[in-house]
Amino acid sequence: MALMSYAQAAAEALAAAMRADSRIVALGEDLGRGGVFGQYRAAAPDGSLRPLQQEFGAERVIDTPISEANIMGAAVGMALAGLKPVVEMRVIDFALCAMDELVNQAAKNRYMFGGQGRVPLVARMPIGIWSASAAQHSQSLEAWFAHLPGLAVVCPATPQDNYGLLTAALASGDPVVYLEHKELWSLQGEVDPAQPVPLGNARIARAGKDLTLVTWSRTLHESLAAAETLAREGIAVEVIDLRTLWPWDRATVLDSCAKTKRLFVAHEAVQVAGFGAEIAAAVAEEVGCPVKRLGAPRIPVGYAPTLEAEARVDAAKIASAVCAWLGAGH
C-alpha cells in the first residue's frame, strides 16, 4: 500500500503497464512535462515525481499539436495498426472536437468489419465542474458515451480506483472512454497496485438499510458526506459507487434496492437525460421500488461563484432531497 494522489495513481498505473507492454503509447498536449494536472508524472527512484517521457522517451509519450481531431484520429490509426494508445484530451469539453474519430471510427470499427480490426484505445477525458472555469470547461457528458454502442465508460472516484480501473481499461482490448474528474487530481488515498478493479463492478462504499444511493465520480464523496449527515437523522443510506457506467453493475444495484426498497441516484451531470435515468428505469422495471434522481439543473455552469454553486450537486443538496423525499424534514 502506498499513499498517493488521484493523479499520481493514474500515472503509476500507466507507467507499470508501459513497462510490461511496449505497445502502449500515450499522446496529447503537454505530456512531455507530465500533463497539465501532473497525471503523467510517476515516482522516480529518488522519490520525486518525474514526467513519464523521461523514462519512456518522446516516441512513446508523445507531445502533439493543439488539435483534438488530429490526436484522436492518429490514436485510432495507431490502435488499428497494433498499438495500444492512451489519448489525452485534457478535459472533456475540448474532446468535442474529436467526436467523429471516437464515435464513428473507434466505437464502430470492430462491429463494421466483423472483428477483423480492434481499437484498444483509452481516451482520458476529465469531466465535471472545474472551479471558476465556467461553461466551456465544466461539463459532465458521460451519458453521451454510455449511449454509444462499442464504448466502455469508466468514472473513477478514488486513487485506488484510478489505478485499478486504468489498468483494467488498458487490458480490455476495446475503446474505453475514461472520465476522471477535474477536481479530484489532488485527492490523496491508499493504493494497492495488486488489487484488481475489474470493469463493470460497482463498490458498496457505505452499507445501509433504508435507502440505496447510487452515484459515481466526485459525487461519491458528496454522497458519503450526505450519508453521514442523514445517519444523524436516523436514516441509514447504502452508498454505491458505480465506478463503470458501461457496463454497469446491475446486480449490485438491484440487490441493494431489493433490500432497501428505495433508490436515489445523484450525479453532477445535468439531470435531464442523465445516466441516472437509465439506472432509475432499470430499478423501477426490475424491482418496482420508488426511485428519485438528483442532478444538475439544465443550465450552463456559471463563472460567478453564486452561479456555479447553483449547478453543483453537493452533500447538503443530497441530504435535503433525501429528507424531503422520506418526509424526515431537514
By annotation, the residues acting in catalysis are: 137
Q: Which amino acid is at 89?
A: M
Cell of 169: 481499461
Cell of 179: 472520465
Residue partners of 327: CB distance under 8 A and separation at least 6:
none
Q: What angle do CA 223, 227, 230 make, to 5 degrees?
A: 135
Q: Which amino acid is at 205?
A: A
Backbone phi and psi for residue 142, each to the nearest 5 degrees, phi listed first: -60, -30
Backbone phi and psi for residue 5, each to the nearest 5 degrees, phi listed first: -80, 165
Cα-Cα-Cα-Cα torsion 50, 131, 30, 72, nearest 10 degrees, comes to 120
Q: Where are the alpha helices (DSSP H) in the chain?
A: 6-20, 52-56, 68-80, 92-95, 99, 109-112, 142-146, 159-171, 219-231, 250-260, 275-286, 305-311, 315-326
Q: How would DSSP label each residue in 245-280?
A: EES--HHHHHHHHHHHS-EEEEEEEESTT-HHHHHH
Task: Compute the distance between CA of residue 59 and CA of residue 64 in angstroms, rounded to an integer.
Answer: 11
Looking only at the bridges linking them, the beta strands covering 152-154 and 244-246 are antiparallel
